Chain A
Amino acid sequence: MFRYIVRRLLQMVLTFFGATFLVFALTFANQDDPIQALAGERPITENLRQTLMERYHLDEPFLVQYWYYMKGLLTGDFGTSLTGRKIIDMMETAWPITIKLGLMAIIIAATIAVTAGVISGIRRGSIFDNATLVVTLIILSLPIVVLAPLAQLVFGIQLKWFPPTATVNASLFDLLLPALVLGSLVIATELRVTRSAVAENLRSDYVRTARAKGLSRKRVIGVHVLRNSLIPVVTLIGVDIGGLMSGAIVTERIFNVPGVGFNLARGIGTEDGPLVVGFVSILVIIFLVVNLLVDLLYAALDPRIRYE
């Protein structure tokens, strides 16, 4: 087990360098004229342009830029955004709100998905089962770029049930609508996986044994079936965290939530290389760590799995 974790951590180092290199190369390729993008429509003096070019090493070749960047990153310096703000400061305000939003989305999605999935797994073919099938199909077929503005328009602006945008000091309620939208990204698959896992486990031999032991239906399902059915669902939730991160870019942008996704969206728009690479590097680390934790949790849930 210990050796497995060490091996995974070593693999993570390689993946991390590969991923940051890729992201850096992509933003480099995306850069057309970042100084002009920063200034917007206004003209920019040749003098200022020269100073900025030198400060951000924009005149250097790609590999040299990458070298400067990694040197800073490994000494804990995320560098400065093209707007002049320290990126580490921007992260300090952005991360807490995104973590809050992400956790809310995961908890909401998992709670609804597991509850509804277990019920429709038990009552296959019932009205409830068919209704969830239709609803999940609709959610699955709506991309988040459609769903998010639609939810904002209907529930935020027309019905006024939720505030249509959020601020830095957003309360849990302010974040509820964006969290629901974000969660809907993963809820459908989680629900379908729960449903099929429950349906499959209900037919298994050990359920027959549990019934032969004179256990109540509640205990057979709540203890024996649920524990087995949750194994694939937990793995899926871990994988979904990656999906939530990309979903957060769109959701935060639309609901004006000043989190990681919001900053990333802006950074991509303004060709702000250091900003994008800095935020994505942290996203990569989180994604890798979560995946490792999910794999370890998998072994804890299923005793048949042992890591050597």
Chain B
Amino acid sequence: MTDIKADIDVLRGIDPNAPLLEVNDLHVEFRTRDGIARAVNGANFNLAPGETLAILGESGCGKSVTAQAIMGILDSPPGYITQGEVKYRGVDLLKLPEKQRRSVRANHIAMIFQDALSALNPVFTVGFQLSELFRVHRGMSRADAKKRSIELLDQVKIPAARTRVSDYPHQFSGGMRQRVMIAMALALDPDVLIADEPTTALDVTVQAQIMGLLAELQQQRNMGLILITHDMGVVADVADRISVMYAGKVVEEAGVYDIYSRPAHPYAKALLESIPRLDMKGQQLNVIRGLPPALTAVPKGCAFNPRCAFAQDVCRQDPPPPQYIVAPGRTARCHFWRDVVGDE
């Protein structure tokens, strides 16, 4: 698998010493009939090789949109990137012409999706859909591409890969289908893998297997992994760092240990407190009051203020809280982060 990149054009301007992936002040909006929905309002994070960054948040907080903006597969219209940078090894992907942008996908940055059944084309065999990558990006012959596809299915531990390669997606079980998705994403040996809720559609035992497989493949290849999820349990197991998103903003970014022990943003804290715990058996679950805001009408000031126990007048006024440095490599967008951390 190591020779596979040898004969392709290296992206121009790539600096091998620059950070693997940097997202700076990314803004995405959807221009809909009901007004402009600001799905992402200044997302920031970076990713190093071999690192797992979890992006955590409720449905509709802009996680998936952020991922699609990084990949460049946002549906446009209605989605537009209005501001920001997505730098891969120092190259701003948002400034690349479409053709080069396309060669970044699958070659350098790949993605897997939540529901593998709908994410795979139902009328083509998995072999066709895998081979396609080698034939389009590497100009391989059908026979060579098929051989490579079988190797890949073997690597993601699909039994009897040689025969299963000519099966259709609906003939696989949920877990096996997600393995096919992973094989497809890893086919061209990317440095960055974005997994958008990869295990949400699977049952718990299969979830663990898939996460285990992802972790193993990540280690073998020293890939950067962005794991988008709302499952705090999955995050605690595999992530190195966590970005918590709320209403299109990263409200807290920290190492996984720090955030679980002493969250610095009231939203992160509330999320953690809402996890069911064994030692709280019989008691009522903690919930976060209210609903996340509609993206067409994000509240003034801190978007979380209507639901926040710490909110004061300053939180209800623009400008929204800046990114406070809580500790080296740790930020929080809360005026009162000291109170939140110290509240233990």
User: Which residues of A are in contact with B by a Cβ distance under 8 Å?
Assistant: 203-206, 208-216, 219, 224, 227-228, 231, 301-304
Contact = CB atoms under 8 A, between A and B. Distances in A.
Given A209-B113, A228-B123, A215 B136 contact: yes
A208 B73 contact: yes
Main secondary structure of the interface of A (DSSP, over half): helix
A221 to B, nearest CB: 13
Nearest to A206: B121
Contacts of A228: 121-123
A210 B132 CA distance: 10
* A-B complex: 9 closest residue pairs judged by Cβ atoms: A214-B105, A205-B118, A214-B106, A206-B121, A303-B168, A211-B73, A205-B119, A209-B119, A212-B111
Contacts of B118: 204-206
**Among A203, A210, A227, A303, which residue has the most Cβ atoms of chain B within 10 A?**
A303
Residue from A208, A209, A211 having most chain B Cβ neighbours under 10 A: A209
A25 to B, nearest CB: 45
Interface in B117-143: 118-124, 132-133, 136-137
Interface string B170-209: 1000000000010010000000000000000000000000
Interface residues of B, number: 29
15 contacts: A205-B115, A206-B118, A206-B122, A208-B113, A209-B181, A211-B105, A212-B71, A212-B105, A212-B110, A214-B103, A214-B136, A215-B132, A219-B136, A303-B168, A304-B168
Contact of B106 (A213, A301, A303): A213
A212 B71 CA distance: 7
Contact of A214 (B104, B113, B120, B181): B104
A306 B104 CA distance: 39
Nearest to B171: A303
Interface in B56-75: 68, 71, 73, 75
Contacts of A224: 121, 124
A224 B169 CA distance: 14
Given A206-B118, A208-B113, A213 B123 contact: no
B137 A214 contact: yes
Contacts of B103: 214
Contacts of A231: 123
A1 to B, nearest CB: 16
Nearest to B170: A304
Given A214-B104, A228-B123, A304-B170, 17 more contacts: A204-B118, A205-B115, A205-B119, A206-B120, A206-B122, A208-B119, A211-B73, A212-B111, A213-B105, A213-B133, A213-B136, A213-B184, A214-B137, A215-B102, A303-B123, A303-B168, A303-B170
B174 to A, nearest CB: 15
